[in-house]
Amino acid sequence: MKTNKESLSWDNLRFDLEPWLKNAIHSLEYPTMTPVQASTIPLLSGNKDVIVEAVTGSGKTLAYVIPVLQKVSKVLYSVPEGEDRPETLKRGHVLAIVMAPTRELSKQIQMVFDKVLGYLPEEMTPVIKTQLLVGSLGNVRGDLEFFQQHQPQILVATPGRLLDFIMSSKYVKTSSLEIVVLDEADKLLDFSFETDVVKILKQLPKQRRTALFSATISAAGDTIFRTGMNNPVKLQVKTKSLMGELNNSAPTSLQLSYMMIDPEYKLTTVLQMLHSFVFKKVIVYLPTCSFVKHLYQMVTKLVDTQELKFFSLYGQLSTKSRLKTLESFIEGNDDSTKYVLVTTDVAARGIDVPDVDLVIQMDPPLDPNVFIHRCGRTGRANKVGRAIVMLNNDTQEEDYVGFMEVKNIFMTKMEPPRNPNHDKFYKDVRKYILEDRARHELAVKSYVGFIRYYSKHIASSIFRMASLDYLAIAKMYGLLRLPKMPESKYIDNAQMPQDGWLGDVIDMDQYAYADKLQEKSRLESLKKDKLTKAATAKRRKELKAKNEAWSSKTDKKEAKLERKEKLKRKREAIEKQLIQEDGRGGANDDDDDDDETKEDWKDMIRKNKQEKKKRKKKNDSAVQGSFDDL
Q: What's the sign of the alpha-carbon dihedral 251, 374, 347, 64?
A: positive
Stretch that binds ligand ADP, among 51-59, 337-345, 392-400, 497-505 (CB under 6 A): 51-59
**N- to C-terminal Cα separation, the chain:** 73
Cβ atoms 292, 451 nearer than 8 A:
no
Q: Which residue's CB is nearer to Mg ion, number 60 or number 281?
A: 60
Q: Does 110 bind ligand ADP (CB under 6 A)?
A: no
Which listed option, ligand ADP, Mg ion, none, makes contact with residue 416 (CB within 5 to 8 Å by class)? none
For residue 183, how many other CB atoms are within 10 A of its CB? 25
Q: Which residue's CB is nearer to ligand ADP, number 32 or number 203?
A: 32
8-state DSSP, 311: E
| Residue 252 amino acid letter | T
By residue count, the chain amounts to 630
How many residues sit close enough to ligand ADP to count as binding (CB under 6 A)? Answer: 17
Cβ atoms 249, 240 nearer than 8 A:
no
Q: Does 114 bind ligand ADP (CB under 6 A)?
A: no
Per-residue interface string for the shown chain with ligand ADP, residues 345-384, x marking contact by CB under 6 A: -------x-x-------------------------xx---
Q: Which of 34, 88, 216, 248 binds ligand ADP (CB under 6 A)?
A: 34
Which listed option, ligand ADP, Mg ion, none, makes contact with residue 57 (CB within 5 to 8 Å by class)? ligand ADP
Site for ligand ADP in 53-92 (CB under 6 A): 54, 56-62
Stretch that binds ligand ADP, among 33-41, 45-53, 385-393, 545-553 (CB under 6 A): 33-41
Q: Which residue's CB is nearer to ligand ADP, number 115 or number 481?
A: 115
In whole angstroms, give the CA distance from residue 499 to residue 502. Answer: 9
Which listed option, Mg ion, ligand ADP, none, makes contact with residue 249 (CB within 5 to 8 Å by class)? none
Q: Does 374 bind Mg ion (CB under 5 A)?
A: no
Q: Which residue's CB is nearer to ligand ADP, number 383 or number 430?
A: 383
Q: How many CA atoms lie within 13 A of 277 on its CB side?
A: 24
Q: Does 60 bind Mg ion (CB under 5 A)?
A: yes
Q: What's the sign of the alpha-carbon dihedral 247, 249, 252, 257?
A: negative
Shortest separation between residue 331's beta carbon and ligand ADP, angstroms: 14
Q: Which residue's CB is nearer to ligand ADP, number 143 or number 183?
A: 183
What's the CA dihedral at 391, 393, 396, 397 to 10 degrees?
0
Q: What's the sign of the alpha-carbon dihedral 213, 218, 223, 224?
A: positive
In whole angstroms, give the CA distance from residue 511 to residue 496. Answer: 23
In whole angstroms, give the CA distance from residue 267 to residue 600. Answer: 82
Q: Which residue's CB is nearer to Mg ion, number 115 or number 430?
A: 115
Which listed option, ligand ADP, Mg ion, none, makes contact with residue 8 (CB within 5 to 8 Å by class)? none
In whole angstroms, give the CA distance from residue 489 to residue 466. Answer: 9
Shortest separation between residue 529's beta carbon and ligand ADP, angstroms: 54
Nearest to 271 by CA among 351, 203, 173, 338: 338
Shortest separation between residue 25's beta carbon and ligand ADP, angstroms: 9
| Residue 51 amino acid letter | I
Q: Which of 21, 33, 72, 134 binds ligand ADP (CB under 6 A)?
A: 33
Shortest separation between residue 353's beta carbon and ligand ADP, angstroms: 8
Shortest separation between residue 328's beta carbon and ligand ADP, angstroms: 18
Stretch that binds Mg ion, among 22-30, 37-45, 349-357, 424-432 (CB under 5 A): 349-357
Site for ligand ADP in 294-353 (CB under 6 A): 352
Strand 239-240 to strand 246-248: parallel, antiparallel, or no bridges (unpaired)?
Answer: antiparallel
Q: Which residue's CB is nearer to ligand ADP, number 34 or number 39?
A: 34
Q: Does 30 bind ligand ADP (CB under 6 A)?
A: yes
In whole angstroms, give the CA distance from residue 117 to residue 126. Answer: 12
In whole angstroms, give the CA distance from residue 393 to residue 52. Answer: 38
Nearest to 182 by CA among 116, 226, 152, 247: 226
Site for ligand ADP in 481-500 (CB under 6 A): none
Shortest separation between residue 210's beta carbon and ligand ADP, angstroms: 18
In whole angstroms, give the CA distance from residue 277 to residue 358. Answer: 9
Q: Which residue's CB is nearer to ligand ADP, number 184 or number 190?
A: 184
- The strand pairing partners of 311, in sequence order, are 341
Q: Which residue's CB is nearer to ligand ADP, number 235 or number 474?
A: 235
Cβ atoms 351, 105 nearer than 8 A:
yes
Which listed option, Mg ion, ligand ADP, none, makes contact with residue 216 (CB within 5 to 8 Å by class)? none
Cβ atoms 277, 308 nearer than 8 A:
no
Helices (runs of H) and strands (runs of E) counted in the chain:
18, 16
Stretch that binds ligand ADP, among 25-33, 120-128, 267-275, 535-543 (CB under 6 A): 25-33
Q: Which residue's CB is nearer to Mg ion, number 219 or number 448?
A: 219
Nearest to 426 by CA among 438, 441, 442, 443: 443
| Residue 222 amino acid letter | D
Q: Does 101 bind Mg ion (CB under 5 A)?
A: no
Stretch that binds Mg ion, among 130-138, 315-323, 343-351, 411-419 (CB under 5 A): 343-351
Q: Does 350 bind Mg ion (CB under 5 A)?
A: yes
Nearest to 15 by CA among 74, 77, 89, 98: 74
Residues lying near Mg ion in the complex (CB under 5 A): 60, 350
In the complex, the residues that contact ligand ADP under the rule CB under 6 A are: 30, 32-34, 37, 54, 56-62, 352, 354, 380-381
